[in-house]
């Protein structure tokens, strides 16, 4: 079923919204520009009552915002002049007769009628029979009230918001919007709801299963938390509904079994800040950028690196992509040109992780050479290089990732291939350590930080997820999450949810 909606009706709904919210200047501008009148009153009964009781100040004020046929307006204004004459309010009567647009038109169209009013105002004594020769004042009021009532209507309060609410309800019933999501009306998208309190996700909530010879190499939630993107060893980039963790079939291309695809394993994936674009990097050094809602590839950068791309990030504006690789180089690529705009050289081994500072002024990188580096984004100069503490002399533990600390922009969490993670400053000082105790403690292979920074999570080589309190460093929970060799994890941006993946063909979703 298709609904046909008149443009004028839409404008009237907007006018009603402006009126209810006292946006008088906007109301007048829209009404004048669109030549559309709302023609509504708060109550028809009250409007009619005002006419029948001669409350002409209120009536004329209301009628001034309406589009009423000229004849009915002339009848109204003529009657007001007559009543003002009867009440000896001659100054008011003359002002209405001589200075209003309605009576000016009457003078041109029916001069005899106009001059009658002038004559009546000039008499020393005037009788009701002279003013209303064929009727009475009250009957004339009643006739005018009846005529004007036909021209006005009443719109239920908050009609615009009611219509929007009904539309959203319909979309939810159709499955186009997830339950519990808030709606960004400006962008026309749903936005996930932020959990009130951060808690450790320890309960298996859902499992995404893949083919026997397939497993996920990377995963990322969208910024609004509504979808999960996974990149697999078979080169498929797939989008999953974060409410059900089923393949998102309302994306037309996935409904037709047409997927975003690389020719080799996808090693990293990231969303743009607005959630509209996805960047993916593969084992052969290529980078692709996609519009995930349509599945369209808008940029392919072949040979972005000479070896596999291990990490990708969009710039704040979304016009550039930061990437790191097994070739030890960090690069910035322009999306419009596809060219390398900047290079950061200085690491002597694989670059495992790279990201921008929140303000975009610096770049933070982690490498298998055992160091974390801070770079100036504009000049590509290395501002600082540091190494996390080593348990034993001579160790050079691979630094796997770095994660900003939401509560302090000068701090970040460092995860290296050891049983310890560290909260460090930009100067390389260790603020706090997060350690798995015991001789059988396994090295961490991946980490993430909760949305508000209350917890840091480390995924260990034995498939266990360790949750530490950020403020104290205390180990709070340990959960078995991986059946095969663990690869990575990602935290939901709004909820107490973590997705973990391993060489087993499953992605496991844990919640509270």
Percent of the chain with pLDDT over 90: 70
Confidence of residue 278 (pLDDT cuts 50, 70, 90): very high
Q: Is residue 165 part of a domain?
A: no
Q: Is residue 48 part of a domain?
A: yes
Average pLDDT over residues 20-47: 83
Average pLDDT over residues 482-507: 94
Confidence of residue 36 (pLDDT cuts 50, 70, 90): confident
Cβ–Cβ < 8 Å for 274, 286: no
DSSP assignment of 287-333: EEEEETTTTEEEEEETTSSSS-EEEEEE-TTSSEEEEEETTS-EEEE
Tokens 């979304």, located at residue:
318
Average pLDDT over residues 432-440: 87
pLDDT of residue 51: 92
Average pLDDT over residues 342-363: 95
DSSP assignment of 82-122: HHHHHTT-HHHHHHHHHH-HHHHHHHHH-HHHHHHHHHHHH
Q: Is residue 140 part of a domain?
A: yes
Report phi then psi at 152, rounded to 5.
-120, 165
- Selected residue with higher pLDDT from 423 and 18: 423
Confidence of residue 122 (pLDDT cuts 50, 70, 90): confident
**Domain that includes residue 69, residue range:** 39-149
Is the pTM higher than 0.85? The answer reads no
pLDDT of residue 264: 97
Q: How far apart are CA 52 and CA 44, in angstroms?
A: 12
Confidence of residue 177 (pLDDT cuts 50, 70, 90): low
* Summary mean pLDDT of the chain: 90
Q: Is residue 72 part of a domain?
A: yes
335: pLDDT strictly greater than 50? yes
Confidence of residue 1 (pLDDT cuts 50, 70, 90): very low
Task: Using CB atoms within 10 Å of the CB of residue 185, give its burial: 0 to 12 exposed, 13 to 18 middle, 19+ buried.
Answer: exposed
Q: Is residue 138 part of a domain?
A: yes
pLDDT of residue 337: 92
- Selected residue with higher pLDDT from 128 and 53: 53
Q: For residue range 44-72, list pLDDT tens digits in order.
A: 899 999 999 999 999 998 888 788 899 99
pLDDT of residue 484: 85
Report phi then psi at 429, rounded to 5.
-80, 140
Q: For residue range 363-416, list pLDDT tens digits in order.
A: 999 999 999 999 999 999 999 999 998 766 556 689 999 999 999 989 999 999
444: pLDDT strictly greater than 50? yes
Average pLDDT over residues 474-500: 94
Cβ–Cβ < 8 Å for 229, 237: yes
Q: For residue range 201-252, list pLDDT tens digits in order.
A: 999 999 999 998 899 999 999 998 999 999 999 999 999 999 899 999 989 9
Q: How far apart are CA 126 and CA 437, in angstroms?
A: 107
Residue 509: CB atoms within 10 A of its CB come to 21
- Please list, in sequence order, all residues whose beta carbon lies within 8 angstroms of the beta carbon of residue 296, skipping any fewer than 6 positions away: 290
Q: What is the DSSP letter of 153?
A: B
168: pLDDT strictly greater than 60? yes
Q: Is residue 327 part of a domain?
A: no
Q: Is residue 300 part of a domain?
A: no
286: pLDDT strictly greater than 70? yes
pLDDT of residue 482: 87
Cβ–Cβ < 8 Å for 325, 363: no
Q: How far apart are CA 102 and CA 92, in angstroms?
A: 15
Cα angle 430, 436, 440; round to 5: 135
Domains in the chain: how many in total?
A: 1
Q: Is residue 299 part of a domain?
A: no
């Amino acid at each position: 079923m298709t609904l046909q909606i008149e443009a004028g009706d839409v404008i009237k709904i907007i006018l009603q919204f402006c009126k209810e919210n006292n946006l008088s200047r906007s109301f007048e501008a829209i009404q004048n520009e669109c030549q559309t009148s709302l023609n509504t009153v708060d109550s028809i009964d009250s409007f009619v009552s005002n006419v029948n009781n001669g409350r002409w100040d209120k009536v004329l004020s209301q009628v001034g915002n309406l589009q009423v046929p000229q004849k009915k307006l002339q009848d109204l204004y003529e009657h007001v002049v007559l009543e003002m004459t009867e009440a000896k309010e001659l100054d008011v009567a003359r002002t209405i007769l001589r200075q209003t647009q309605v009576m000016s038109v009457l003078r041109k169209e029916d001069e005899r009628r106009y001059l009658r009013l002038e004559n009546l105002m000039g008499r020393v004594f005037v009788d009701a029979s002279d003013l209303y020769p064929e009727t009475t004042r009250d009957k004339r009021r009643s006739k005018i009230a009846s005529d004007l009532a036909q021209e006005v209507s009443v719109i239920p309060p908050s009609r615009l918001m009611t219509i929007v609410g009904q539309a959203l309800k319909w979309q939810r019933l159709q499955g186009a919007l997830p339950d519990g999501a808030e709606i960004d009306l400006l962008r026309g998208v749903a936005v996930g709801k932020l959990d009130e309190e951060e808690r450790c996700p320890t309960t298996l909530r859902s499992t995404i299963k893949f083919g026997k010879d397939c497993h996920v190499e990377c995963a990322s939630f969208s910024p609004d938390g509504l979808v999960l993107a996974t990149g697999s060893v078979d080169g498929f980039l797939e989008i999953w509904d974060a409410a059900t963790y089923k393949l998102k079939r309302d994306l037309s291309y996935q409904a037709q079994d047409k997927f975003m695809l690389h020719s080799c394993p996808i090693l990293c994936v990231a969303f743009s800040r607005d959630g509209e674009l996805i960047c993916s990097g593969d084992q052969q050094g290529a980078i692709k950028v996609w519009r995930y809602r349509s599945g369209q590839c808008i940029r392919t950068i072949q040979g972005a690196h000479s070896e596999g791309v291990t990490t990708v990030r969009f710039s704040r504006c979304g016009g550039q992509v930061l990437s790191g690789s097994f070739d030890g180089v960090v690069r910035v690529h322009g999306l419009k040109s596809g060219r390398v705009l900047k290079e950061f050289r200085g690491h002597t081994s694989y670059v495992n992780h790279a990201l921008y500072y929140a303000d975009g002024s610096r770049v933070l990188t982690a490498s298998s050479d055992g160091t974390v580096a801070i770079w100036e984004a504009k000049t590509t100069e290395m501002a600082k290089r540091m190494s996390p503490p080593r348990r034993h002399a001579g160790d050079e533990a691979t630094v796997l990732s770095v994660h900003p600390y939401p509560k302090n922009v000068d701090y970040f969490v460092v995860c290296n291939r050891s049983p310890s993670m560290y909260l460090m400053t930009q100067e390389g000082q260790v603020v706090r350590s997060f350690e798995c105790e015991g001789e059988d403690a396994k090295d961490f292979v991946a980490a993430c930080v909760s949305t508000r920074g209350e917890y840091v999570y480390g995924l260990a080589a034995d498939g266990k997820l360790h949750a530490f309190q950020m403020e104290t460093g205390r180990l709070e929970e340990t959960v078995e999450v991986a059946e095969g060799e663990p690869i990575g994890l990602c935290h939901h941006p709004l909820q107490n949810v973590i997705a973990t993946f391993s060489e087993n063909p499953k992605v496991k979703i844990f919640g509270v």
